[in-house]
Amino acid sequence: MQVKTLIGAAAALFAMLSAAAQASGLAGVQVSGCWVRTMPATLPSSAYFTIKNDADKPVSLKGVDAPAFGMVMMHQTQSNGSTSRMVHVDALDVPAHSTLQFAPGGYHVMLEQPQHALKVGTTIPLTLNFGAAGKLDVQCELRPASAPAH
């Protein structure tokens, strides 16, 4: 079930919203298709993207920064029948030659305390922190709360 969801989300990637690694420690690592489900200011918004690691060594995502928000956390939604809950994620490994999806129903970046009004259709920057390997910046499209998962 979850794999199916991830594949569906992959189909929604925006090639134009991609970031190439600048730091040599992240050569071969790309972040693409970033978008945000934009919620009213009192509710958390969520960011989704795809990390593709074409390098010969694994990388580890240690955290995400979003200057547009006061609080940023990596979460995983875990579903168990009719109930689902969110679990905090400290770090996520992306093995060599593999892809990691942040997608509705799975991994997401929870964004709280927006620092200014969020305008659907515009973009906000996100910075993915891979520890000693370096950081990657990506622009994320603000989509409405009703945006389909894929």
Catalog residues that contact Cu ion under the rule CB under 5 A: 75, 86, 110
CA separation (Å) from 2 to 9, 80, 92?
Answer: 11, 12, 17
Go through 69-82 and write b for each residue having 16 or more CB atoms within 10 A of its CB, e for each that does not: beebbbbebeeeee
Smallest distance, Å, CB 22 to Cu ion? 29
Is 58 or 70 the residue whose CB approaches Cu ion more closely? Answer: 70
Smallest distance, Å, CB 100 to Cu ion? 17
Is 55 or 110 the residue whose CB approaches Cu ion more closely? Answer: 110
- Residues 118 and 142 sit within 8 Å (Cβ to Cβ): yes
Is 92 or 110 the residue whose CB approaches Cu ion more closely? Answer: 110
Smallest distance, Å, CB 88 to Cu ion? 8
Closest CB to Cu ion: residue number: 75
Q: What is the DSSP letter of 9?
A: H
